[in-house]
Structure 1
């Protein structure tokens, strides 16, 4: 006699969601590192901090490269978080798809604008 217990769900494996979880943690760590670097440079700068000093901090090539990496990390970090909100709380598929596409277009636009501002310095 054969008895089956439990549901007949498809088991997706232990790696389901791991990529998004890792992306959130790695991008958060990069953002914290960048914040520490900027704060250290600001604290080491004497006197009032005006536009010239801020432009000086971001004028070096290594700082532009780090800031560029943080812009991309921030975009990915926001995308994973907002996408999860849309998937968890917005049930109508058409509305969720619209919100996800709108979020993607908005984030790419913000990334393009941020890069344009960075490379103008």
Structure 2
């Protein structure tokens, strides 16, 4: 089984993909409200205040959880679009190869974004 197929096996069914995407959207929404709250509490926020917010380990963990949620949410969305629109009806015999290439590229970019985001949050 290839890397992309393995990633989708984690989701097992359309229902679990749907639930995971809704839960990840909830995490993203809560994080957005949290960030808006920071701007409301500190309307004249400066670099020092912003750095202090993200020096807090709880905020870092919340940010990483949100980053993972964004990556999972994005992967499910990309997988759905790729499987819905990169079909044999549109691309004939090349459809599977094209879809796998796009899925592999999407998975690679999401992994880069995830590791880069973690580096930004936890790096020195």
With the length of structure 1 as denominator, give the TM-score of the two structures: 0.82
Structural mapping, 1:88-103, within 5 Å:
88-91=84-87, 92-103=95-106
2:32 corresponding residue in structure 1: 35
Cα separation, 2, equivalents of 1:45 and 1:31? 21
Per the alignment, residue 11 of structure 1 pairs with: none
**2:60 is the counterpart of 1:57:** no
| Superposed displacement of residue 16, structure 1 | 4.2
Tell me which of 19, 23, 45 is aligned to 2:20. 23
What is the TM-score when the length of structure 2 is the normalising length? 0.80
2:71 counterpart (53, 72, 75): 75
**Structure 2 CA distance for partners of 1:53 and 1:102, relative to 1, 3 Å:** same
Runs of 4+, deviation exceeding 6 Å: none
**1:120 CA drift (Å):** 2.8
Deviation at 1:31, TM superposition (A): 0.5
Tell me how large the CA RMSD over aligned residues is: 1.5
In the alignment, structure 2 segments of 5+ residues that lack a partner are: 1-11, 88-94
Aligned residues: 106
1:51, CA displacement in angstroms?
2.1
The runs of 5 or more residues in structure 1 that have no matched partner are 1-14
Q: Residue 57 of structure 1: CA displacement?
A: 1.4
Residues 7-30 of structure 1 show CA distances to partners (whole Å, capped at 9, x for unaligned) of: xxxxxxxx9410110011000000
Bigger proportion of residues as helix:
2
Residue 50 of structure 1: how far off its partner (Å):
2.6
Higher Rg of the two aligned structures: 1
